[in-house]
């Protein structure tokens, strides 16, 4: 028990809406709890017996990205349906927000924060106060030349999303970057990105007695996504490995002959650019079993497999990689919308 003896009005509203969609929420759970030392989260209002069901959420209560084969995606413009699941889901949420009370998701959307304390909302001055910390160094690859942490998201928005939403004011009356970022925050926390396909299966195994499963993120990711850092009481980090650039280049070389186009040209120049890209990370990429493949790894592979002409054009457009962060954002953005 955490000093809160009754459910908040926000929890009551959300539980009622979830129940109407076939979900189950344990009656002793407070979904919007706050604790003086443990922050915000889900808390138990009273002891819960072992084996009791805490939460069951059916597909009908999960916001999903529209697949091209899904009839519910017909309202999305064809160009939007070809974007990544993350972007499509953000567009769906932007549309539902625009519908207001007419949206079937309105009770849920009304409970989302209207503002966020996560790092992409910090000013460059505030971010500068982190200088000298491991978090600051980790975030180096996410900041653009101005120090802004939304550079990559802005690049995706400027290249693809902004034009699409502006061309369809009947679907998205608010086509701003701010609306897209607000939708992204909720889309990141979805249970799933798709209605059908390989991403919909989840294998659940019974853990040993007393084990609580968590997905451990490092402090930089926690600050960026959720606005807080870990505490000494948290579970240990999952198994991870550091991959030096030479291994990534070797893997790219092993596949270049089957790429279908000439990627060997300018190989040394591309390798040098990747070296500058990974310089903020000590020339390595960290890969964890509990997290998606890092953008830096995907960027290196994409860059090494670029045809020479495309690589030259990228150099011209990004000032010859004088700022690795911007080059990474450009390449990662291309991956996000491809």
Closest-CA residue to 174 (of 234, 267, 97, 90): 97
Angle between helix 324-337 and helix 85-99 axes, rounded to 10 deg: 80
Rounded to whole angstroms, the Cα distance separating 183 from 177 reads 10
CB atoms within 10 A of CB 36: 7
What pLDDT was estimated at residue 207? 46
Residue partners of 275: CB distance under 8 A and separation at least 6: 245, 283
Query: What percentage of the chain reaches a pLDDT higher than 70?
Result: 61
Sole residue written with tokens 């970022």: 181
94-121 in b/e burial notation, b at 16+ Cβ within 10 A?
bbbbbeeeebebebbbbeeeeeeebbbe
pLDDT at 152: 60
DSSP bridge pairs for 34: 40
Q: Where are the alpha helices (DSSP H) in the chain?
A: 9-20, 78-81, 85-99, 106-109, 124-128, 134-138, 151-156, 162-166, 177-188, 219-226, 245-256, 267-277, 295-304, 308-317, 324-337
Terminal Cα distance for the chain, rounded = 48
Whether 314 contacts 327, CB under 8 Å: yes
**pLDDT tens profile 305-337:** 888 887 887 777 554 344 333 444 344 333 333
Tell me whether residue 275 is exposed, middle or buried, using C-beta atoms within 10 angstroms of its C-beta: 0 to 12, 13 to 18, 19 or more: middle
Q: Find, among 324, 326, 224, 315, the residue nearest to 277 by Cα.
A: 324
Return the pLDDT at 67.
62
Chain segment 243-276, per-residue pLDDT in tens: 888 888 888 888 776 656 666 678 888 899 899 8
Q: For residue 151, what pLDDT is reported?
A: 59
Side-chain-side CA neighbours of 242 within 13 Å: the count stands at 6
User: Whose structure tokens read 């061309």?
Assistant: 167
- For residues 304 and 261, the answer to whether their CB atoms sit within 8 Å is no
Regions of the chain short of the pLDDT cut 50 = 1-3, 190-203, 207-216, 233-237, 319-338
- pLDDT for 186: 66
DSSP secondary structure, 248-281, as one string: HHHHHHHHHTTSSS---TTHHHHHHHHHHHTGGG
Q: What is the pLDDT of residue 191?
A: 44
Q: By C-alpha distance, which of 47, 37, 33 is closest to 4? A: 33
CB 45 within 8 A of CB 16: no
């Amino acid at each position: 028990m955490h000093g809160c003896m009754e459910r908040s009005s926000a929890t009551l509203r959300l539980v009622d809406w979830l129940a109407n969609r076939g979900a189950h929420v344990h009656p002793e759970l407070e979904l919007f709890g706050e604790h003086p030392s443990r922050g915000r989260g889900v808390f138990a209002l009273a002891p819960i017996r072992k084996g009791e069901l805490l939460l069951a959420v059916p597909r009908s209560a999960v916001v999903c990205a529209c697949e091209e084969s899904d009839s519910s995606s017909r309202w999305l413009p064809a160009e939007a349906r070809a974007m990544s699941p993350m972007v499509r889901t953000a567009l769906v949420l932007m549309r539902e927000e625009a519908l207001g009370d007419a949206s079937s998701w309105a009770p849920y959307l009304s409970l989302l924060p209207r503002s966020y304390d996560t790092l992409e909302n910090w000013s460059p001055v505030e971010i500068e106060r982190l200088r000298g910390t491991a978090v600051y160094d980790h975030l180096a690859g996410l900041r653009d030349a101005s120090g802004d942490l939304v550079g990559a998201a802005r690049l995706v928005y400027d290249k693809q999303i902004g034009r699409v939403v502006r061309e369809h004011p009947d679907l998205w009356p608010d086509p701003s970057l701010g609306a897209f970022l607000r939708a992204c925050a909720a889309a990141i926390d979805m249970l799933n990105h798709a209605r059908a396909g390989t991403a919909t299966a989840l294998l659940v195994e019974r853990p040993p007695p007393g084990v609580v499963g968590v997905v451990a993120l490092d402090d930089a990711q926690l600050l960026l996504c959720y606005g807080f850092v870990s505490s000494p009481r948290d579970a240990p980090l999952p198994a991870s490995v550091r991959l030096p650039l030479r291994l990534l280049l070797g893997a790219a070389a092993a596949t270049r002959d089957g790429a279908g186009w000439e990627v060997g040209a300018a190989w040394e120049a591309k390798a040098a650019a990747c070296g500058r890209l990974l310089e903020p990370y000590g020339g390595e990429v960290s890969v964890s079993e509990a997290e998606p493949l890092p953008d830096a790894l995907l960027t290196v592979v994409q860059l090494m497999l670029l045809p020479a002409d495309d690589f030259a054009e990228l150099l011209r457009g990004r000032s010859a990689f004088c700022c690795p962060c911007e080059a990474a954002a450009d390449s990662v953005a291309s991956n996000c919308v491809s």
